[in-house]
Chain A
Amino acid sequence: MKELTVLSTGVAGLDDILLGGVPRGNIILLQGVTGSGKTLIGTEIVYRGIVEFDEPGLIVVFETSPNKLIRDAAKFGWNLDKLQQEKKLRVVFTSPQVFEQELRSADSLLLESAAEIGAQRIFIDGIGLLDQNANEVNSEPFLYRDLFHQLIETFQRESLTAVLSHEIGKTAKSLELSEAAEFLSDTVIQLNRGLHNRRSQRTIEILKSRGQDYESGLHSLRITDGKGVEVFRRVQAPPRRNVIQPTSSTKRSVIGVSAIDTLIGGGLFDGSTTMVVGVSGVGKTVLGTQLLREGALRQKKRGLLVSLDEHPAQLIRNAGTIGLDLQGPIDEGTIRILFESPQELDIDAHYAQIIDLVEKHDIQRMVVDGMTSYSSAIGDMGIYRDFFHALVAYSKHRLMTTFFNYENPEFLGISSYMPDFPVSSIVDNLILMSLVEIGNSLHRCISVVKARGSHHSFQTREFVIGEGGITLLPQDELGEPEVTLQNYSSLLSKAPTRFRHSPRTNPAERNPERA
């Protein structure tokens, strides 16, 4: 039996969702609405075949001007003219009628031309136009199906892997043609272009592919000048590689931020995930910056700060004001910042970018600053949750210690850790950063609510942000602050009440006037 070999499309990300590529000889149907990227993907599959796999190819167009095709390809850095001069590519303009005739002809010029250059890939742009021709010659409704059969037989005989583009219209006739084309093709790739809020978003889905498994569902597709097509696997798609994956470690690493290490009891497990919950302005970003900086400088753990809220320049400036130099580690490459505007966020592409950075730079500690911004940028709660789950799973797989900052909308006291995003059970550790009002001033305080596998403190401790970042205020010490938080109860329930007789303070030193 003939061995099934795989043809790499060469399109960035497409081979990943095809789990390596398409079985060689498969008839690939690219179908979609106008502007979904059919012509571009077809052209790129042929182009990549030539330049990356030394497989010459043919592009056949009926309506598109080859001049425009070549001009548009140049925007992506693809020099089709040069490939034509080198006799590795032919862009042929013909009519559907002539094309159909060529398929039937024993001495076909088109196939002769393909053989001359040793073509292994052929892209036919606008296969649906053959139907118009079918109607001209013969009004039988199944003629298009016959033509398609003939097409498949011809390409199989010539050992050509064919990519056919088919535009889906809205008429019943168009849908009927699509159905026939879908049925007869071996691999069907559906391209879509829709609106997400007011932003146009392209998606790609493999509807079927004979002889192989593939990643199902809707994936994102992006067309980028200077690059071409990029496909981003949907974030929640289960990883097919490295089936056996570590999810936890017994190794505990000191975080390097004494406030956290003190409260958690000597550091966190490598690969653990921590949600830091707090109101705006309480110091979550400072803590995140400190975690990364301490990790990079003292623990030799490369860090990544992912932010949708603040531009890197602003993060570097703000950290600098409290003596946390971020620029140095960034210049050394031990800390990286990924900033993306939430307005134009494509979550699949963003996720792929995070994974790429983590793997390329061997990131061991990551801070995702602003889960709330993701919520508003993504909109769909299901996708938001998928993104979060995927990041948690990936962090565990990499044994990367990850911190997520979540902005709790409740200012003083909280009734729920994460009111609009109840995922606190998924993370290993939960840290609350709160503001408490005592007298007429606000105090920052921190509590470790959960730390799986750790004997953590349940005390709420006051902290200050100063030179070097976050520092816990000492306990059992009179002086500044005059009355420590341990003298109060109900700090997080909006009603701090001072103990009259604290069991842990010397009654002789108590000052009842301050209550």
Chain B
Amino acid sequence: MLDWEILIHLYRYHITLLGIEQIARILHSDATSVGRALERLKSQKLIESSRSSRAVRFYTVAFSPDNFACSCFKQLVNFSEHRSGRLTLKKILKPDNPGAAPDAICATLLKEVPK
């Protein structure tokens, strides 16, 4: 769920210039967990980051607007605008398949999420 929250945050804030600690503070989480989540999102090519300058980086979401993952993601963002949607997502987003490709994750999620 933290991965999702970070992804949502970076999507909403477009270009974020922050350090791990500031992101953790915004999301009310701890820096270690946020650092790990950022690494996972990077390895899945869902986010991009710049070089580090005094522990601060530019972060942006990585998918282009015409990407399948992006269209899935936007649907999920809309879905998560409501409380019931967020609760459903929380149930679905369990770390049981960390190595799966983003497109595959999105496709799985969309099967579960009502249109």
Contact = CB atoms under 8 A, between A and B. Distances in A.
Nearest to A91: B14
Nearest to A70: B14
A67 to B, nearest CB: 5
Interface stretch (B51-59, B67-75, B88-96): B51-59
Interface string B38-61: 000000000000110110111000
A98 interface: yes
B53 A66 contact: no
A96 to B, nearest CB: 10
B53 A92 contact: no
Interface in B7-55: 12-19, 22, 50-51, 53-54
Contact of A102 (B17, B22, B50): B17
B17 A93 contact: yes
Given A97-B22, A109-B58, A67 B53 contact: no
Nearest to B56: A98
A109 B14 contact: no
B19 A66 contact: no
B14 A67 contact: yes
A125 to B, nearest CB: 13
A493 to B, nearest CB: 76
Given A94-B18, A95-B22, A98-B18, A109 B13 contact: no
Contact of B15 (A93, A95, A98, A108): A93
B66 to A, nearest CB: 11
B15 A91 contact: yes
A497 interface: no
A126 to B, nearest CB: 15
Given A98-B19, A109-B58, A113-B58, A93 B53 contact: no
A90 interface: yes
A93 B17 CA distance: 6
A105 interface: yes
A90 B58 CA distance: 11
A110 interface: yes
A65 B12 CA distance: 7
Interface string A47-74: 0000000000000000001110010000
B12 A94 contact: no
A93 B54 contact: no
Contacts of B16: 92-94
B58 to A, nearest CB: 6
A459 interface: no
A65 B18 CA distance: 15
B13 A65 contact: yes
B14 A98 contact: no
B12 A109 contact: no
A380 interface: no
Given A95-B22, A97-B22, A98-B19, A105 B54 contact: yes
Interface in A377-420: none
Most chain B beta carbons < 10 A, residue from A105, A109, A113 = A109
Contacts of A67: 12-14
Q: Which of B16, B19, B54, B56 is the most central at the interface, judged by chain A CB atoms within 10 Å of its CB?
A: B56
B17 A92 contact: yes
Interface in A94-121: 94-95, 97-99, 101-102, 105, 107-110, 113
Contact of A107 (B13, B14, B53, B58): B53
A39 to B, nearest CB: 16
A137 to B, nearest CB: 14
B54 A92 contact: no
A480 B53 CA distance: 98
B22 A109 contact: no
Interface string A75-94: 00000000010000011111
Contact of A110 (B12, B14, B17, B22): B17
A65 B8 CA distance: 13
A92 B18 CA distance: 10
Which 10 A-B pairs give the minimum distances between C-beta atoms?
A: A94-B17, A93-B13, A66-B14, A109-B53, A67-B12, A92-B15, A93-B16, A95-B22, A107-B53, A92-B17
22 contacts: A65-B12, A84-B14, A84-B15, A91-B14, A92-B16, A92-B17, A93-B13, A93-B16, A93-B17, A94-B17, A94-B18, A95-B18, A97-B22, A98-B17, A98-B19, A98-B22, A101-B56, A105-B53, A108-B53, A109-B17, A109-B50, A109-B57
Given A91-B15, A108-B53, 7 more contacts: A66-B15, A67-B14, A90-B15, A92-B17, A92-B58, A101-B56, A110-B17
